Amino acid sequence: MSDLSLKAPITVAYGDGIGPDIMRASLDVMLAAGAQLDIETIEIGEDVYNRGFSSGIEPSAWDSLRRTKVFFKAPITTPQGGGFKSLNVTIRKSLGLYANVRPCAAYAPFVATKHPAMDLVIVRENEEDLYAGIEHRQTDEVFQCLKLITRPGCERIVRYAFEYTRANGRKKVTCFTKDNIMKLTDGLFHKVFDEIGAEYPDLEQEHWIVDIGAAKLADTPEMFDVLVMPNLYGDILSDVAAQIAGSVGLAGSANIGEQVSMFEAIHGSAPRLAGQDRANPSGLLLGGVMMLNHLGQSGVAERVHNAWLATLEAGVHTKDVWQHGVSQQLVGTQGFAEAVIARLDREPQTLKPVRYTASRPFQLPPRKPQAPARKETVGVDLFVQWRGGADDLAGKLKTIEHGPLALKMITNRGVKVWPEGLPETFCTDHWRCRFLNGDGPMELTDIVALSSRAALAGVDFIKTEHLCTFDGEPGFSLGQGQ
Ligand code: NAD
């Protein structure tokens, strides 16, 4: 037992607020259950931010994460105000933690829920989408956030979702996107879901537009099994799913990367409960169960999880899940941990016991890169700040037409306003002016010449976006917005 070589190295951070309370409680339970852990501790969060590290983590902490490759993290408090970066986003993106896995199950009747049969897992893409954090103010009135969706990113998360489903004996994978509007970005996610899904004929698969999908999830979550979706939808809907299952305080999550993985609760640092021994440690403990499985210590994971279920069943509850008539004994954080430890050899009688098989985490097959497409530049969108009307702007832009490039369309917030706009359309000071080459491909130098003519004519353009075809397919939206 004391042989360090048998122990799995992990990095632990106690975090802020309720973090230290729930981390101590979770580690106590896991170690009492026989977890073999060689723990390195790092400091993250508020104090580190206040010492001038804008991401809430000291440079030396990365060495520990690189060494152990497994991070068990309590929640932190993100300071208010500008100049601070989200520690979670920094860690996820810096370490390539591409898959955020969040199981959300109901524990009725022991934890109140309107959805007693709910048992689903959300697999959220964790690095891309609007979370690239590339934002610009472009004009007086208009601000932009860039949504980046990549083919390797989609392939990795979608394949992870299918492999996870198989490895965990689940049956169905559902994809949510908004590809009826975002045809290129969300369209790619959906397309990759269909492509990769074809390799998993044993699994049921379906796609929902995210708005109606979210409504179904909130109303009849028992119809879902594993769900995969882009970052923003997954961020929002995994909190919704955890809350309707019973409480955000009960859900753990895994952030999986190729080299390093991180395990945590989904809730925050609940500063108002800090240091009072009142917080529910269950979310972090279930994150710990996911970590033990990841480390191949599945027997210990199963013992901890079943003892936890037996404790809930016995009505030993923290205040956040207390129910009159159901709960039997009100406990604090440490009292709850002791109650789980006292049941380490028990299994639940009403709730379904978990069964984990000893297996290492599955490896995704290496990605097969696609051959590069034949790319041709056929035009340019010139984005202009302009205070007047569409017809006046068109008149000005006609004077800078150059060589093969002719002004074809002006839109405002994606709605066509020239030629033949509607007088009712509300316009801001931000105009997309599309120049196309009528004769097919053109040279980049044509775009440079057009930009140069625009600058000389006093056109206040704030960016250009090149219009390209890929194997003859337009790589840009054609319509006028919807
Ligand atoms: P929160 O999750 O900390 O709290 C929301 C509500 O849930 C509060 O009423 C809180 O008392 C309750 N709650 C949360 N966890 C609980 C638990 N284990 N037991 C009992 N009750 C619990 O969300 P918030 O108040 O919006 O954020 C507080 C701080 O946490 C902020 O600084 C935020 O940035 C940070 N945060 C950190 C993480 C993270 O580190 N992963 C995640 C989310 C929020």
Q: Is the CB of 102 under 6 A from ligand 1?
A: no
Predicted local confidence at residue 169, as pLDDT:
92
Calculate how far, in angstroms, residue 249's C-alpha sits from the geometric centre of ligand 1: 9
Give the mutation target among 267, 272, 280 for probing the ligand 1 site: most ligand atoms within 8 A of CB.
Answer: 267
- Name the residue at shortest CA distance from atom 13 of ligand 1: 270
Predicted local confidence at residue 6, as pLDDT:
82
Give the mutation target among 24, 80, 124, 269 for probing the ligand 1 site: most ligand atoms within 8 A of CB.
Answer: 269
Q: Report which ligand 1 atom has the smallest distance to the Cα of 280.
A: 19
Please give the radius of gyration of the chain, using alpha carbons only, rounded to the nearest integer: 26
The DSSP bridge pattern shows strands 261-265 and 252-256 to be: antiparallel
pLDDT along the chain (482 residues), means of 10: 72 97 98 98 92 88 95 91 81 92 96 96 96 92 97 97 94 97 97 98 98 98 98 95 91 95 95 94 98 95 98 96 95 98 96 85 84 95 96 96 90 95 94 90 91 96 96 86 39
Q: Is the CB of 16 under 6 A from ligand 1?
A: no
Q: Is the CB of 287 under 6 A from ligand 1?
A: no
- Name the residue at shortest CA distance from atom 18 of ligand 1: 280
Give yes or no for a contact between 239 and 250, defined as CB atoms under 8 angstroms apart.
Answer: no
CA 466 to chain centre: 29
Count, residues in the chain: 482
- Name the residue at shortest CA distance from atom 42 of ligand 1: 268
Calculate how far, in angstroms, residue 222's C-alpha sits from the geometric centre of ligand 1: 26
Predicted local confidence at residue 478, as pLDDT:
82
Q: Is the CB of 19 under 6 A from ligand 1?
A: no
- Name the residue at shortest CA distance from atom 22 of ligand 1: 249
Predicted local confidence at residue 1, as pLDDT:
43
Kindly report the pTM of this predicted structure. Answer: 0.93
- Name the residue at shortest CA distance from atom 41 of ligand 1: 75
Q: CA-CA-CA-CA torsion for 446, 448, 453, 454, nearest 10 degrees?
A: 120
Q: Is the CB of 78 under 6 A from ligand 1?
A: yes
Predicted local confidence at residue 4, as pLDDT:
53
Q: How many CA atoms lie within 13 A of 356 on its CB side?
A: 22
Q: Is the CB of 280 under 6 A from ligand 1?
A: yes
Burial 118-131 (b: 16+ CB within 10 A, else e): bbbbbbbbbbbbbb
Predicted local confidence at residue 482, as pLDDT:
34
Q: Is the CB of 267 under 6 A from ligand 1?
A: yes
Predicted local confidence at residue 360, as pLDDT:
67
- Quick one: which of 124, 125, 20 has its CA closest to 73? 20
- Collapsed DSSP state (helix, strand, coil) of residue 83: coil
Q: Is the CB of 255 under 6 A from ligand 1?
A: no
E strands present in 279-348: 316-317, 329-330
Q: What share of the chain is helix, strand, coil (3-state, %, to 5)?
A: 35, 25, 40
Predicted local confidence at residue 215, as pLDDT:
98
- Name the residue at shortest CA distance from atom 32 of ligand 1: 77
- CA dist 432 to 82, 279, 317, 386, Å? 31, 51, 57, 10
Residue 461's H or E segment, with its range, is strand 461-470
- Name the residue at shortest CA distance from atom 8 of ligand 1: 270
Q: Is the CB of 307 under 6 A from ligand 1?
A: no
- Name the residue at shortest CA distance from atom 1 of ligand 1: 268
Calculate how far, in angstroms, residue 270's C-alpha sits from the geometric centre of ligand 1: 4
- Quick one: which of 330, 328, 284, 332 has its CA closest to 304? 284
